[in-house]
């Protein structure tokens, strides 16, 4: 599904990714762990096509397409979803409006007709239910006054509605209490753990991985994947720290 080959990227002229390679097949859940500043978020933003993240080498194919040749909105239309470490607030726009616009923009790019109000509400209710999110909450302006946990749950509702092929989730567990962590973890499983979907979880704690069990765990340090293992690698990192692995 996703094949990253020797990817190098700079942020503000500073080399951050330095020849990173990684392959993700349909049906797989991968976790990337690594110390602060290792380049984890940079990888997510670079794959999402965020301005300011400049690719200086290597290639990325996504479902046999050259991902790097696509504009950010085309990447989303192709089925890529990026969950942000710090979700943005959009005063004046309600979450339901936002979700409906997002869903219909996505459908338009796929040549599908927009959802009717009723169809959209049914879909939104279903996905909000998966995340134990009250519909009243989604009538509020996007993320304004939401707690950290509510922002992440709302973001997972958005993911459910967009129904991406590949979700890259950056620190989706940050700021979550134990209950929210379980709800978000179960939501990710319900939406994304399917034979034709894949997930790349970026995290520096192993706790989300208790709920969303990764098939592969990678350690990112110095701009490259320096080690790959199974779910047990996350436990090893948790008990021994990154230094034992990156030294
Ligand atoms: N806009 C920016 N300008 C300059 N340096 C940046 C910028 N964004 C990120 N960096 C630097 O890039 C490096 C990698 O950051 P990041 O990808 O956020 O790491 P991680 O997510 O692994 O903690 C860090 O050294 C960070 O300071
Ligand atoms: Mg980060």
The per-residue pLDDT for range 121-146, each reduced to its tens digit, is 999 999 999 999 989 988 998 888 88
Sheet holding 14-24, edge to edge: 14-24, 2-11, 53-62, 65-66
Identify the pLDDT of residue 216.
Answer: 97
Identify the pLDDT of residue 85.
Answer: 67
Query: Mapping DSSP to helix (H, G, I), strand (E, B) and coil, where does residue 234 land?
Result: helix
- Per the CB < 8 A criterion, the answer to whether 27 and 194 are in contact is yes
54: domain CATH number is 3.40.50.300
pTM: 0.93
Nearest to 97 by CA among 138, 150, 146: 138
Q: pLDDT exceeding 70 applies to what percent of the chain?
A: 99
Quickly tell me which residue has 């319900």 as its tokens: 190
In terms of phi and psi (left: phi > 0; alpha: psi -120 to 50; beta: otherwise), the region of 144 is beta
For ligand 1, is residue 12 a contact (CB within 6 Å)? yes
**Residue 241's pLDDT band (cuts 50, 70, 90):** confident
Count Cβ neighbours within 10 Å for each residue of 220-238 and write b for 16 or more, e otherwise. Answer: bbbbbbebebebebbebbe
For ligand 1, is residue 203 a contact (CB within 6 Å)? no
Strand partners for 18:
8
For ligand 1, is residue 16 a contact (CB within 6 Å)? yes
What digits encode the pLDDT tens for the residues 82-122?
A: 987 667 788 888 999 999 999 999 899 889 999 999 999 99
Residues 6+ apart with CB under 8 A from 134: 128
Identify the pLDDT of residue 128.
Answer: 95
Distance 44 CA to ligand 2 centre (A): 9
Distance 110 CA to ligand 2 centre (A): 31
Spatial distance between the Cα atoms of 201 and 152, rounded to a whole number of angstroms? 14
Q: Is residue 43 pLDDT above 90, yes or no?
A: yes
Per the structure, the count of domains in the chain is: 1
Rg of the chain (C-alpha set): 18
For ligand 1, is residue 242 a contact (CB within 6 Å)? no
| Structural domain boundaries, residue 120 | 2-246
Q: Is residue 39 pLDDT above 90, yes or no?
A: yes
Average per-residue pLDDT for the chain: 92
At 82, which helix (H) or strand (E)? strand 80-83
* Structure-block tokens of residue 128: 């909000």
What digits encode the pLDDT tens for the residues 165-192?
A: 999 999 888 888 889 999 999 999 999 9
């Amino acid at each position: 599904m996703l094949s990253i080959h020797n990817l190098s990227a700079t942020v503000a002229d500073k080399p951050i990714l330095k020849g990173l390679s990684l392959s993700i097949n349909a049906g797989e859940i991968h976790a990337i762990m690594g110390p602060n500043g290792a380049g984890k978020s940079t990888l997510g933003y670079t794959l999402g096509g965020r301005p300011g993240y400049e690719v200086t080498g290597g290639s990325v194919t996504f479902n046999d397409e050259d991902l790097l040749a696509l504009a950010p909105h085309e990447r989303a239309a192709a089925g890529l979803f990026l969950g942000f470490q710090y979700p943005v607030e959009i005063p004046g726009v309600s979450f339901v409006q936002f979700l409906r616009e997002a869903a219909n923009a996505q459908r338009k790019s796929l040549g599908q007709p927009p959802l009717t109000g009723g169809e959209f509400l049914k879909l939104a209710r279903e996905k909000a239910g998966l995340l134990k999110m009250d519909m009243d909450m989604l009538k509020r302006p996007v993320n304004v006054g939401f707690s950290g946990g509510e922002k992440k749950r709302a973001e997972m509702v958005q993911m459910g509605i967009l129904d991406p092929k590949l979700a890259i989730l950056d620190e989706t567990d940050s700021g979550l209490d134990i209950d929210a962590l379980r709800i978000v973890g179960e939501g990710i499983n319900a939406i994304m753990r399917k034979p034709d979907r894949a997930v790349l979880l970026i995290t520096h704690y192993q706790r989300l991985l208790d709920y969303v069990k990764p098939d592969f765990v990678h350690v990112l340090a110095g701009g490259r994947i320096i080690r790959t293992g199974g779910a047990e690698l996350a436990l090893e990192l948790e008990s021994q720290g990154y230094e034992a692995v990156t030294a």
